[in-house]
Amino acid sequence: MLQVHAGNLTQMLTEILGDVEGNTALVMIEIDGTGGRARLQGLDISLKLAREGKRVLMIGWQTPAAYASAPLWHACIEMPNVVFAQLPVGAAEIKALLIDDINSGPADPLALRLLEMSDEVDVLRVLKHNANYIEQRDEDAQLHFLTNAKKLFGDLSLEELKTAVNEAEADTPVSACAGEEFPDVFVDIEGTLLQNGELNQALLEKINELAATHPITVWSGGDLKQLEPQLRSLGITYKVASKHALRGAKAAMAFDDMPYDQFIAEYGITVDQYIQV
């Protein structure tokens, strides 16, 4: 029997879609128009229903790129029994999507793991990564680097802070994902997917092709709070993760500008198929 979760539109949509059969659900992402987190309440409902085995059609007013900064979006949309349609969409199309066999692509266990994990990563390791690119970053990113570096090393100049960061020894903790294997194609951001602030179009085309058979994760050893908005502004909708959060894990494939031996030494992640860009 069809379930409808759409706030004050629930009764109307239930009547319109009353002839739809099967273990399905229609969920409006912006189930509550009061703003803030409540606007995305439908993501929580969609994930719960999908985990219960229902085929879920999510509808919402925003584009996938606009939702992509919410980890819950990735946890939902990467479920094999969940699809999304952007509003406005007619009743006939909704019915067709509810009736059709829903299969959004390859299963993505990492999307659920990232939802469960803390987004806190080792501050010094992020600073070490960002020190390599700080001259290429905008003023806000440089200020962010300076603020965090000064917390550790005091009121030094940018060059002095870069030296202090690079010479400092960092711990190498094992993440909560240690020992786990993920089928993802992992794509490094700075120097790989983004080169001098521009998208690597050839690589983007390649990973878009691979997305038909593999979940895609865009990752970095740097500060994702600085990098993710840039990716979203360029239309990249794939989930984003910290390399530090996967220390000790195993990946199916990775694209990176770093030599593999250096990558292993820095992040402790093994990769079946490593492509240096």
Mean pLDDT for the stretch of residues 39-65: 91
Q: Does residue 176 fall inside a structural domain?
A: no
Contacts of 131 (CB under 8 A, 6+ apart): 145, 161, 162, 165, 166
Return the CATH number at 93.
Answer: 3.40.50
Q: Does residue 114 fall inside a structural domain?
A: no
Q: Does residue 175 fall inside a structural domain?
A: no
Number of domains forming the structure of the chain: 3
Q: Which of 39, 4, 7 is nearest to 18 (CA)?
A: 4
Q: Which of 157, 174, 171, 178 is nearest to 128 (CA)?
A: 171
Q: What is the pLDDT of residues 145-163, one digit of tens each?
A: 888 788 777 888 888 888 8
Same domain, 255 and 190: yes
Give the pLDDT of residue 103.
60
Q: Is the Cβ–Cβ distance between 219 and 187 less than 8 Å? A: yes
pLDDT band per the 50, 70, 90 thresholds, residue 223: confident
pLDDT of 108 above 60: yes
Same domain, 133 and 202: no
Mean pLDDT, the chain, rounded, equals 87
pLDDT of 37 above 50: no
Calculate what percentage of the chain has a pLDDT beyond 90.
Answer: 50
Domain final residue pick, 71, 105, 139:
105
Q: Which domain covers residue 131, as residue numbers?
A: 123-167
pLDDT of 125 above 80: no
Same domain, 160 and 190: no
Place of tokens 């979760």: 5
Q: Does residue 116 fall inside a structural domain?
A: no
Give the pLDDT of residue 11.
93
pLDDT of 23 above 80: yes
Backbone angles phi, psi at 69, to 5 degrees: -80, -5
**How far, in Å, are 1, 46, 53, 202 from residue 22 at the CA level?**
5, 16, 11, 42
